[in-house]
Chain A
Amino acid sequence: MAYSDKVVDHYNNPRNVGSMDKSRTDVGTGMVGAPECGDVMKLQIQVNSATGIIEDAKFKTFGCGSAIASSSLATEWLKGKSVDEALEIKNTDIVSELALPPVKIHCSVLAEDAIKAAINDYKTKQGAPVSAETVSH
């Protein structure tokens, strides 16, 4: 299969690889996919709770080159966006940016799902009435 230059670039130089402490209340974690399906994405955001701006994003992905590129690109796009802006990212934006062929569209869908899951996790944590952290203060 031929890959677009952008997919190859993300594969060779993946951006923002890594993991954050998922127990932190300012960190949202999304893990989507399944090993049997051949792809699992873990995407994490760290949000400034005062401004609602995503200050950092990290990913780890098990999957094909297009899945790696989709999640790498997602972390690039997330940084500096507000949580609400981040929810606007659509899988079709990823498809066109990376020039994904039809058989790889599911990779972009997975990336969008990962973004939503991470934001959801963050919001749930924020919505929790009393977090462990505040108690200990």
Chain B
Amino acid sequence: MTGRTKTMLAALALAAGIAALVLVPLLLNRYGLYILSMWAIMSIAAIGLNLTLGYAGQVSLAQGAFVGIGAYAAAIITTQGWPLVAALVVAVALCFVIGWLLGYPALRVQHHYLAFVTLAFSTLAYLVFRNEEWLTKGIYGITGVPRPTLFGWPLAAPLRFYYFCLAALGIVFAGAWWLVRSPWGRAFMALRENPMRAMSLGVDTRRYTLMAFAIGSSLGGVAGVLYAPLVEFIDPTPFTLGLSLNLLMMVIVGGSGFLFGPLLGALISVLLPEWLRFSEGLYLIVYALFVMILLAWSPTGILGIVDRYLARRRARAASAARSAAMPEALP
């Protein structure tokens, strides 16, 4: 295959995927649309975590907390009569700053120590959601979170709100694509693979680490801002450590460090419980088994398998081309 046909094929696959995401929901009922909207929202949060973890190599068990911060910001601000855009600005700014600060421990500790630090933050955020009743209404939660209007166009209907989430996902995905291909993306990967060497080549690892946390966290906030009007009721329960772990799973199962990884991981995480609903309580066991087998086989997730397959095929094609080019050199 030439590079040209490969690009064509990739573009075709992408177009087919987008068409499916736009057209299939026309056939779905309310609940199906809710599930797909949830997928789009979780994908946004997972894309953020993929930047921090998959590209920059910084473990975080706090992404769920940032979704919570975004959701509470949206719930509090929009129930006061402000538009969702205002909540978006506040949530992104807040999560960016808090994410930046959370990056500081990463300058001193790595791997499982960093996981513990971010886990502690996650717990702290949950306690704030539950106990600061003057702000969050505590365990009673905030009811009646309104769905937004876009330029005077109400988005309350499930299908419209789904398209709204899908458009947001499209923008976030394009932004991540743009970032990963920029010099920053390259510096993030250098940070992941060899921080000491990166530093010796002039990469200010400290600033890039903080940026990776800040950007990834603010995308968690964006997801939260969409989550609140989707479920229309916000209380602390969804934002326990479980959500952070779930987001981590999405990134790892899909393939961390691959742009499409979080989308795939989120799809599995959101759809699998639906498919396995007949199995009742067995769902978690099946999911856990699936994750364990997958990671034992391919630590880089599903897209890691695809990537290795393509690399092998490329190598075989290259060696075939070489031996075809110099047949007399063979014994």
A joins B in a complex: no
B residues neighboring A (CB under 8 Å): none
A residues neighboring B (CB under 8 Å): none
